[in-house]
């Protein structure tokens, strides 16, 4: 009934989601009409925090799948709460994808 995802579709899907998250954060900054130098620092700090949370999500997914749902919900909540975190998470996901190639 469902087709198995091929090896090439996984990275493409991951990259698409990363670009979508990054674009949503950038769009919220553009819509607000204000991007200060302090916001760039927030994005850089959020990049490090998001990379750490991606590492925690990966670990919990492989060792405690039920707990990984909580980490994923935490990530989703911060994506909608902070445009700087959305930019940082999208950039961190893109860096993970780039590093895997």
pLDDT in tens, 25-35: 999 999 998 88
The domain ranges of the chain are 9-100
pLDDT tens profile 50-92: 999 999 999 999 999 999 999 999 999 999 999 999 999 999 9
Tokens at 36, concatenated: 């200060």
Task: Give the Cα separation of 26 and 67 in Å (integer).
Answer: 30
Given this model, what pLDDT does residue 43 score?
Answer: 95
CA–CA distances in Å: residue 82 to residues 5, 28, 47:
32, 9, 12
Alpha helices for the chain (secondary structure H): 9-32, 37-63, 65-81, 83-100
Angle at 48 between CA 61 and CA 20, to 5 degrees: 70
pTM for the predicted model, two decimal places: 0.87
């Amino acid at each position: 009934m469902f087709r198995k995802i091929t090896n090439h579709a996984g990275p493409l899907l991951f990259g698409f989601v990363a670009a979508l998250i990054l674009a949503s954060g950038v769009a919220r900054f553009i819509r607000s009409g204000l991007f200060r130098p302090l916001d760039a620092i927030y994005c850089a700090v959020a990049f490090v925090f998001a990379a750490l949370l991606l590492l925690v999500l990966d670990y919990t997914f492989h060792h405690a799948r039920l707990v990984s749902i909580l980490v994923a919900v935490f990530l989703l909540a911060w994506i909608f709460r902070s445009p700087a975190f959305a930019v940082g998470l999208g950039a961190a996901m893109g860096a993970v994808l780039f590093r895997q190639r």
